[in-house]
Amino acid sequence: MVAPDRGWHDRGTPIRDRGCPDRRGMALIFVLWILVLLGLAVGELAARARSEARMVATLKSRAVAQYAAESGVLATTIALRTILDSADDPVELAARTRRLDTVGRASTDLAAGGAQFAVSVIDLNARLDLARADSATLSALFTQFIPAERAGAVVAELRQAPVTRFAELARVPGADDALALAVAPYVTVWSDGFVNVNSAPEAVLAALPGIGPARARALVARRGAGELFTSVDAFRPTSASRGAVPVDGSVLTIAPTRLMIVSRGWQRGAPLTHEIQAVYLVLAGTLTLQSWEERDR
């Protein structure tokens, strides 16, 4: 009997060589690994692109914020110079600077890059200077918020090591954050020692020797009724001129001699804010820059 011919099976259906690996499976695994590596590479590139985009956006918003803050300072100095040019004497200057809050500007839009700024003007002569005010005056101010013994200790430390930044006050032995927060509206490190009787708050006036709490309350009430003090004669027992005069070691004036412009700029929709604090000397109808500080917030 002749054996059947199986060659047609071999020709029609190839038989897998059991001695060789599955090349198609290996190729599939290789392709999958390539896809994984490509995916990781693409993800890394995308992450770097996003990071660089955020960095560029941050740099742009910082530049826009700085530009806006500088614009706020410029606009406000122009407004202040207009006031100074129109004030012929200290009394007129006192009258025109009674409402410095109207000189500052609320949120204002600029044309470039969605920039905005807000500005406030601070009469530094409405505050006591931590380095220039006498010890008795500073103690009287602090005593309104802490016990007299502790207030005296804090002032003694300030005399030993004067602060150059307001933030340093909380670190003075005997002081703390609560005291610094309480006296923040009433003290500064940028004044010249003069106290403006037309703008100083009740707490500052009450601390001045020869005035005290009751008289300070009455003076603030008179100002609230619209009275403008055109002389400092009423603040001391002896007669004096309408300019700045000493009162028991303190110095009074009727108009500001130091002003601070605080300008904050930002880009609309961005969280970063740039702040400029510019201190100006007011003398003979002119503004002279004394200090300039910038920071991002």
Q: Residue 51 domain-assigned?
A: no
Whether residue 65 is found in the same domain as residue 103: yes
Whether residue 284 is found in the same domain as residue 200: yes
Whether residue 289 is found in the same domain as residue 198: yes
Q: Residue 35 domain-assigned?
A: no
Q: Residue 10 domain-assigned?
A: no
Cβ atoms 250, 261 nearer than 8 A: no
Q: Residue 186 domain-assigned?
A: yes
Q: Residue 17 domain-assigned?
A: no
What's the mean pLDDT in 247-270?
85
Q: Residue 154 domain-assigned?
A: yes
Domain count, the chain: 2
What's the mean pLDDT in 13-35?
67
pTM strictly above 0.85: no
Q: Residue 122 domain-assigned?
A: yes
Whether residue 159 is found in the same domain as residue 288: no
Whether residue 223 is found in the same domain as residue 282: yes
Determine the Cα–Cα distance for residues 121 and 111; give it in Å rounded to an integer: 23
User: Among residues 156, 172, 190, which one ends one of the domains?
Assistant: 190
- Which two tokens mark 238? 């002896």
Determine the Cα–Cα distance for residues 236 and 246; give it in Å rounded to an integer: 9
Whether residue 133 is found in the same domain as residue 103: no
Whether residue 217 is found in the same domain as residue 111: yes
- Model confidence pLDDT, tens digit, residues 228-250: 999 887 776 444 444 444 444 35
User: Among residues 190, 216, 237, which one ends one of the domains?
Assistant: 190
Whether residue 258 is found in the same domain as residue 275: yes
What is the extent of the structural domain holding 121?
60-127+191-296
Give the per-residue SS3 of 48-65.
HHHHHHHHHHHHHHHHHH
Determine the Cα–Cα distance for residues 95 and 93; give it in Å rounded to an integer: 5
- Model confidence pLDDT, tens digit, residues 182-223: 999 999 999 999 999 999 999 999 999 888 899 999 999 999
Whether residue 98 is found in the same domain as residue 209: yes
Q: Residue 42 domain-assigned?
A: no
